[in-house]
Amino acid sequence: MAQDRRQRTHANTSSERANDRPASGGEVEIRQRAYERFCERGGEHGRDLEDWLEAERELGEGASRRR
């Protein structure tokens, strides 16, 4: 039962609840970086929003430097 809950929690990340609309190119990059952060932490659940926001910040800084 706990495993089912963990799987549902992971499946319900903010990046996947976006009204089933296709992800934009920037969203795909953010999703990938947020997932990388999740893996770097050893797969610790419950910090998906923090990962997402940090990924946005990191990628936003990179995009502003390229301009």
For residue 9, give its domain range: 2-66
**Mean predicted confidence (pLDDT) in 53-57:** 96
What whole-number percentage of the chain has pLDDT above 70? 60
Q: What is the pLDDT of residue 25?
A: 79
Q: What is the pLDDT of residue 24?
A: 80
What whole-number distance in Å separates Cα of residue 7 and Cα of residue 11?
6
- How many separate domains does the chain show? 1
Tell me: pLDDT of 9 over 50: no
Tens digit of each residue's pLDDT (9 = 90 or more) over 18-38: 556 677 879 999 999 999 999
What is the tally of helices (H) and strands (E) in the chain?
A: 3, 0
- What's the pLDDT band for 65 if we cut at 50, 70, 90? low
